[in-house]
Amino acid sequence: MLHSVQVGGRVEQYHLTANEDNRFTFDSTAIEVDPKAMRSQRIFTVAGDNIHYEMNMATHQSPEFQNHLKADLRRKI
């Protein structure tokens, strides 16, 4: 289970729905304090010291997932 809490009060709860080749997909099971969002998805891909992150969201106006954010994180030692 994964939780996301944001400054504006939005709260999301996720369950792991896929895990293969160091790629972890979490799909939302609950979204609170955001009347526009229908569902969301967060994908983490781990490769060595790097994590690639994607956040996809579906709204009442766009019911299919659309990419909302992509980020690449690199651990520096």
Number of structural domains (the chain) is 1
Q: What band does 77 get if pLDDT is binned at 50, 70 and 90? A: confident
**Alpha-carbon 64 to chain mean position:** 15
User: What is the per-residue pLDDT across 21-32, written as a single tens digit (0 to 9) for each?
Assistant: 999 999 999 999
Q: Which percentage of the chain shows pLDDT scores above 70?
A: 100
User: Residues 67, 56: contact at Cβ < 8 Å?
Assistant: yes
Range of the domain at 23: 2-74
pLDDT reported for residue 54: 98
Residues 7-28 have a mean pLDDT of 96
Least confident of 11-15, 20-24, 32-36, 71-75: 32-36
Which CATH number fits the domain that encloses residue 27? Answer: 2.40.128.20
